[in-house]
Amino acid sequence: MDKQQTAPKNFVPTPFAYRQIVELEIDDLNNLGVGVGRIDGWVVMVPFALGGERVKARVYRNRKNFSEADLVEVVRPSPDRVKPLCPLFGTCGGCQYQHLAYSAQLEWKRKQVRDLVKRIGGIEFEVSPTHPSPVQYGYRSKLTPHYERPRGGDMPVGFVMQGRRSSLVDVPQCPIASKAINEALPAARERIKKSNPRRGGTLLLRDCAEGVCQDNTAIRTERVGGISYQFCAGEFFQNNPHILPELVQYAIEQAKGARNLVDAYCGVGVFALAAAKDFENVAGVEISSKAIVCANANAKINNIKNCEFLIGKAETIFDGVAKKFDGAETSVIIDPPRAGCDTAFLEQLTAFAPERIVYVSCGPDTQARDLAYLTTHGYKLERLQPFDLFPQTRHIESVATLSKIG
């Protein structure tokens, strides 16, 4: 018997049989970019289905409160459905929105930020239209394909397969990566395959001023809005250089009006150094010692003398900052990791009481959680502006501007 036709041992047979074909209307997309519909009130999740479509789908899992199904047929397509550029779309798990017109992607992302801040943050707020990326394909300046230990001559080099946790799909070219990366990718793939690795791993292809770098430890350069930044190729640096200058300038404009600026989670100093001309004094803090070395070097390279960078956890930074800056004369830009800020950091931030807070986030769900704290501890949300740093994917950058009440 075909294993694909046989229900797994742990399959729950209600409300749908294994591989049962169901037909339903798709009402919405969730924050993972998955279509959400209902049959007699029961939620069914269908990847690659779009809001407003009627589809047929094959159920493969029944969970406690919903079922999951594979898209079989689009019975009535959305007017926003377009042909994906990548032949691996739907198999490779890297992109979720290549089948969605770009204008519709922007609107769905705005809606995603609005819904999360309402559901998680408890805040009703009108979110600004998503700021588009000037380039929607060929924009990524960093690609990290994975590879597995060869088995029976097969060695995929690519990304996790859609709907799987570890299985890889072989990706010879990636249309959202830069032209230079795609030109370097075949040789990088061939080299790792010929090396016959004993275990799996990850390649690095970083497109920067010096060309495509494949050495995680190399120091490379990126220029953003007239400022040169050196950084370790394997460390974090935003991957869409086409929209990054606009994001940085927007955050700075939102922070203006104070004498001083604190840049928490400052990395190699992108916000701090770009903002130096608009503030009397700037301080940045970062937990990564490699990033701080680069940040101090970047200040020297750009002849910026009113910035200082400190190694240390952002969760304790305001102990030192409060001795130098008066919160009433200071703006703070925070750009935390996807997990957002912890309670200790938020307590210190509100105790420091800066005049303005500009919260840059790649995780609108954790940003919404943190906005709930800030708006109940002396701050008013003034603006919420999404930026599309990641076209064709479900990911979104969101910038919240808050001002101190009273």
Q: Sign of torsion, CA 159 164 169 173?
A: negative
What per-residue confidence (pLDDT) applies to 311? 83
Which are the contacts of 301, defined by CB distance < 8 A and separation ≥ 6?
228, 230
For the 3-76 domain, the top CATH level (class) is mainly beta
Name the strands in the sheet holding 330-334, side by side, starting at the edge strand that comes first in the sequence.
Answer: 307-311, 281-286, 260-264, 330-334, 356-361, 397-404, 379-387
Strand (E) or helix (H) holding 307: strand 307-311
**Cross-strand partners of 58:** 21, 70
pLDDT at 96 over 90: yes
3-state secondary structure 210-234: CEEECCCCCEEEEEECCEEEEEECC
What per-residue confidence (pLDDT) applies to 113? 97
| Same fold yes or no, 3-76 and 103-135+236-404 | no
pLDDT at 2 over 50: no
What per-residue confidence (pLDDT) applies to 393? 97
- Tell me the average pLDDT across 163-167: 79
- 307 catalytic? Reply is no
pLDDT at 163 over 90: no
What per-residue confidence (pLDDT) applies to 4? 58
Strand (E) or helix (H) holding 153: none
What per-residue confidence (pLDDT) applies to 269? 96
- Tell me the average pLDDT across 27-32: 91
pLDDT at 252 over 90: yes
Q: Within 13 Å of residue 289, how many CA atoms lie on the same side as its CB?
A: 0
* Tally of CB atoms within 10 A around 270: 27
Considering the candidates 92, 174, 208, 362, report the single residue annotated as catalytic. 362
What per-residue confidence (pLDDT) applies to 153? 72
Residue 64 CB-density burial (10 A; 0-12 exposed, 13-18 middle, 19+ buried) = exposed
- 362 catalytic? Reply is yes
Nearest-angstrom CA–CA distance, 377 and 392: 37
pLDDT at 3 over 50: no
How many Å separate Cα 31 from the centre of its chain? 12
- What is the band of 1 on the pLDDT scale with cuts at 50, 70, 90? very low
Contact predicate 176/391, CB 8 Å: yes
In the chain, domain spans: 3-76, 103-135+236-404, 142-213
Architecture of domain 103-135+236-404: 3-Layer(aba) Sandwich (3.40)
DSSP letter string, 66-77:
EEEEEEEEEEE-
- Tell me the average pLDDT across 273-297: 92
Considering the candidates 53, 222, 315, 397, report the single residue annotated as catalytic. 397
- Tell me the average pLDDT across 338-360: 94
pLDDT at 209 over 60: yes
The per-residue pLDDT of the chain, averaged, comes to 94
Of 163-177, 264-278, 329-343, the one with minimum mean pLDDT is 163-177
